């Protein structure tokens, strides 16, 4: 019973944060994309390569993955908190590649400040293999990449703001002490 109450509260809390996230994005002048930019394995590789020197949080999610949706507001908030220290959040929606309009509508409605792409590869595995050839198709999966591009953590399942923050801080440490 306790768990049920907790879960309900977590869902309610998540849903409660959505308008706030949207308002934050609108206040910040964030663009509301009509389409989600597609990303292939090659373009993801280039995108990640262009972030060298920063800590990248790569989040694999899907509109149908309820646990994914719970953690996205926290990840967006963390990026806003840690961007000055060189943290970049990149999402990749694992929804169907030809479902762009629906995913874009969903994104604009719930997570407009979430910097995400939509996979253009038919195979889920093709995208994840850019950073993790052993990905087991669990969602959400979040990778934390060090400034040199290495994956330093693979996180599966929903994590809280504080749990993510601790993992990202750990990845930031070598960069700040170098």
Partner 1 sequence: MSKVPAFLLALFTGTLSVAVSAAPIAVSTTGQLALAPDVAVGPKGEIAILWLAKGNPDTPEAKAAAAERAKSGHSHRSSMNLYVAVSKDGGASFSAPVRVNREDDEVWGFAVSRPRVAWGRTGTLHVAYPANEMQAKLGKSVLTARYTRSTDGGATFEAPRRLSTVTDSDLSSVIHGGFASVAAFGTMGVAPNGNVHVLWIDTRDMKGGSDNGSVYGVVSRDDGVTFGPEERLAAGDVCPCCQINVAFDAKSRPLLASRQVTAGNLRSSSVGRADSAGHFTTRVSTGGTPWHLDGCPLKPTAMAVQGTHIYTAAHNGADTPPGVMLSASNDGGKTFATPYAAHPGAQVSDAPAFAAIGQRVLVAWHAKTDGPRRVFYRTLDADGSALGAPVELATGEGSTQTPALAARPDGRAQIAWQQGDLIYTTALEVK
The distance of closest approach from Cβ of residue 35 to partner 1 in the complex, given in angstroms and rounded to an integer, is 11
**Between 79 and 95, CB nearer to partner 1:** 95
Does residue 157 bind partner 1 (CB under 8 A)? Answer: yes
Nearer Cβ to partner 1 (93/146):
93
- Which of 1, 4, 6 shows the shortest CA–CA distance to 160? 6
148 binds partner 1, rule: CB under 8 A: no
Using rule CB under 8 A, residue 174 touches partner 1: no
Options 46, 52, 85, 122; binder of partner 1; rule CB under 8 A: 122
Bridge partner residues of 90 (DSSP): 58
Which residue from 42, 98, 148, 162 is in contact with partner 1, where contact means CB under 8 A?
A: 98
The verdict on 162 binding partner 1 (CB under 8 A) reads: no
Tell me if residue 49 falls in helix, strand or coil.
helix
Total residue count of the chain as it appears in this document: 178
Rounded distance between C-alpha atoms, residue 30 and residue 99, angstroms: 23
Q: Which stretch binds partner 1 (CB under 8 A): 21-29, 50-58, 76-84, 105-113?
A: 105-113
Tell which phi-psi region holds residue 143, choosing left (phi > 0), alpha (psi between -120 and 50) or beta: beta
- Single out the residue of 72, 37, 63 nearest to residue 142, CA to CA: 72
- Interface with partner 1, residue 109, by CB under 8 A: yes
**C-alpha distance from residue 62 to each of 59, 97, 102, 108 (Å):** 10, 11, 12, 14
Contact between 7 and partner 1 per CB under 8 A = yes
The residue to which tokens 């801080």 are assigned: 169
Give me the 34-73 binding string for partner 1, x by CB under 8 A, dash otherwise: ----------------------------xxxxxxx-----
| Backbone torsions φ then ψ of 79, nearest 5 degrees | -65, -40
Residues that bind partner 1 (CB under 8 A): 3-5, 7-8, 11, 15, 62-68, 96, 98-99, 101-102, 104-106, 109-110, 122-123, 125, 133-141, 156-158
């Amino acid at each position: 019973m306790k768990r049920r109450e907790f879960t309900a509260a977590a869902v309610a809390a998540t849903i409660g944060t959505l308008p706030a996230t949207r308002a934050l994005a609108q206040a910040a002048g964030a663009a509301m994309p009509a389409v989600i930019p597609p990303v292939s394995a090659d373009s993801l590789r280039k995108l990640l390569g262009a972030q060298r020197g920063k800590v990248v949080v790569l989040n694999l999610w899907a509109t149908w993955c309820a646990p994914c949706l719970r953690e996205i507001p926290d990840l967006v908030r963390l990026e806003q908190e840690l961007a000055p220290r060189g943290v970049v959040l990149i999402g990749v929606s694992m929804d169907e590649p030809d479902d762009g309009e629906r995913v874009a509508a969903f994104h604009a409605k719930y997570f407009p400040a979430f910097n995400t792409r939509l996979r253009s590869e038919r195979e889920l595995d093709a995208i994840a293999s850019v950073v993790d050839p052993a990905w087991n198709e669990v969602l959400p999966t979040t990778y934390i990449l060090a400034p040199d591009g290495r994956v330093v953590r693979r996180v599966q399942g929903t994590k809280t703001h504080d749990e993510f923050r601790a993992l990202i801080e750990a990845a930031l440490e070598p960069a700040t002490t170098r």
